[in-house]
Amino acid sequence: MDHKIALIPGDGIGPEIVREARKVLDKTAKVWRHTFTYTELLMGGASIDVHGVPLTDETVAAAKDTDAVLMGSIGGDANTSPWYKLEPSRRPEAGLLKLRKELGLFANLRPAYLYKELKAACPLREDIIGNGFDIMIMRELTGGLYFGARSTVEENGLRTATDTLVYNEEEIRRIAIRGFDIAKKRRKKVTSVDKANVLDSSRLWRSVVEEVARDYPEVTLSHMLVDNCAMQLVRDPGQFDVILTENMFGDILSDEASMVTGSIGMLSSASLNETKFGLYEPSHGSAPDIAGQDKANPIATILSAAMLLRYSLDLDKEAGAIEAAVQKVLEKGYRTGDIFSEGCTLVGTAKMGDLIADEIHE
Ligand code: IPM
Ligand code: MG
């Protein structure tokens, strides 16, 4: 089959991790005789350097013309990079937000999973880890504080800034439906996270989630306040299956959950719209401090490519083969620096990509 894939290498370590993911996709295509046609697109700082803006309309149109997008990472060091001297709407991150909005990518799936091979990297105590954990954070991605009206004004010498947290019931319903659909295929538990003791938007969130839950009698729903959730993630992460939450809470909790796995370099993510189209990217950032040094862990991007095959191209077997290849390479003891422990073999970005590509077979 022929498939069109957009690649957005981006900034920092982005280009090198996307290169390795492409290596793995190419091997997959060869084994199963698919044709992947790639379109390379500029976003973030890479786009600012060429076009003066982090995302052009032409790039959005080119992305829309593909079956799925695989992205590396965007952004630089906010203290030293000239990109951060620009006004906020022209900085690298604004490109990513615009792409999410323009492509309608409202459902963000962020798995946080403890690899048994990497247990030593988990910062939690043995007795807290227990039998490990496997959490799917479902983050609403195109609403809430990120996209509400904002302003900064000065009146009578007093500077005042406003951000608006706004959700309508339709925006809540569609992400809740996705959350329950996914929970149905997992351990059938949804924890909906909000701040309903304070916020109106959270009270609406809670009531719409409860309405949706009625259509999923096999799934258990519970509600948790976001501050409690932040605590429970380090107290007993094993209690969670699907965490369903709004944009800003999901941003914060997903970083916490990924850190708790001890392997942020391993975690993939998918951002989906109403169709099969999606944007896939590692959960980590652009790590400008190690860019271009063959040190970055490409596994999160490679696993994001696997998600792309599964969710956007319906290539389940191929996705499974990539995941199994990653598992195999870990079992053989190969590690990049971020997940290295005593007795393992330290490898660089390119070598890790080679090893994984070599393990892909029917
Ligand atoms: C993320 C990032 C983005 C976000 C930034 C880069 C705008 O932190 O994907 O979690 O806040 O959504
Ligand atoms: Mg974030």
| pLDDT at residue number 40 | 98
Contact 209, 221 (CB under 8 A): yes
Catalytic residues, by residue number, are 146, 195, 227, 251, 255
- Please choose from 96, 99, 264 the residue to mutate so as to test ligand 1's pocket, defined by most ligand atoms within 8 A of CB: 96
Q: Which of 12, 21, 3, 1 is nearest to 350 (CA)?
A: 21
Provide the residue ranges of all domains of the chain, joining segments of one domain with +: 1-106+278-362, 123-260
Q: Which of 43, 58, 41 is nearest to 4 (CA)?
A: 41
Q: Which protein residue's CA is at the shortest distance from atom 1 of ligand 1? A: 251
How many C-beta atoms lie closer than 10 Å to residue 1's C-beta? Answer: 11
284 C-alpha to ligand 2 centroid (Å): 8
Backbone torsion region of residue 144, taken as left when φ is above 0, otherwise alpha when ψ lies between -120 and 50, otherwise beta: left
Residue with tokens 């690298």: 92
71 lines ligand 1 (CB under 6 A): no
Per-residue pLDDT of 61-77, as tens digits, reads 999 999 999 999 999 99
Q: What would the CATH number be for the domain defined by 1-106+278-362?
A: 3.40.718.10
Contact 72, 9 (CB under 8 A): yes
| pLDDT at residue number 117 | 87
Considering the four listed CATH numbers 3.90.1300.10, 3.40.50.720, 3.40.50.300, 3.40.718.10, the one that applies to the domain covering 123-260 is 3.40.718.10
Per-residue pLDDT of 116-164, as tens digits, reads 888 888 999 999 999 899 999 999 999 999 999 999 999 999 999 999 9
Per-residue pLDDT of 283-324, as tens digits, reads 999 999 999 999 999 999 999 999 999 999 999 999 999 999
Domains 1-106+278-362 and 123-260 share a fold: yes
270 lines ligand 1 (CB under 6 A): no
| pLDDT at residue number 211 | 98
Q: Which protein residue's CA is at the shortest distance from atom 6 of ligand 1? A: 93
Confidence (pTM): 0.94
| pLDDT at residue number 270 | 97
181 lines ligand 1 (CB under 6 A): no
321 C-alpha to ligand 1 centroid (Å): 29
Taking each helix axis from N to C end, the angle separating 57-64 and 92-102, rounded to the nearest 10 degrees, works out to: 40
Contact 143, 166 (CB under 8 A): yes
285 C-alpha to ligand 2 centroid (Å): 8
Tens of pLDDT along the chain (362 residues) come to 799 999 999 999 999 999 999 999 999 999 999 999 999 999 999 999 999 999 999 999 999 999 999 999 999 999 999 999 999 999 999 999 999 999 999 999 999 999 888 888 899 999 999 989 999 999 999 999 999 999 999 999 999 999 999 999 999 999 999 999 999 999 999 999 999 999 999 999 999 999 999 999 999 999 999 999 999 999 999 999 999 999 999 999 999 999 999 888 899 999 999 999 999 999 999 999 999 999 999 999 999 999 999 999 999 999 999 999 999 999 999 999 999 989 999 999 999 999 999 999 98
Residue 132, SS3 per DSSP: coil
Contact 16, 296 (CB under 8 A): yes
266 lines ligand 1 (CB under 6 A): no
Angstrom distance (rounded) from CA 222 to CA 209? 10
Backbone torsion region of residue 326, taken as left when φ is above 0, otherwise alpha when ψ lies between -120 and 50, otherwise beta: alpha
117 lines ligand 1 (CB under 6 A): no
239 C-alpha to ligand 2 centroid (Å): 23
Q: Which protein residue's CA is at the shortest distance from atom 4 of ligand 1? A: 251
What is the residue type of 338?
D
- Please choose from 81, 89, 97, 105 the residue to mutate so as to test ligand 1's pocket, defined by most ligand atoms within 8 A of CB: 97
Q: Which ligand gives the minimal distance to the CA of 270?
A: 1
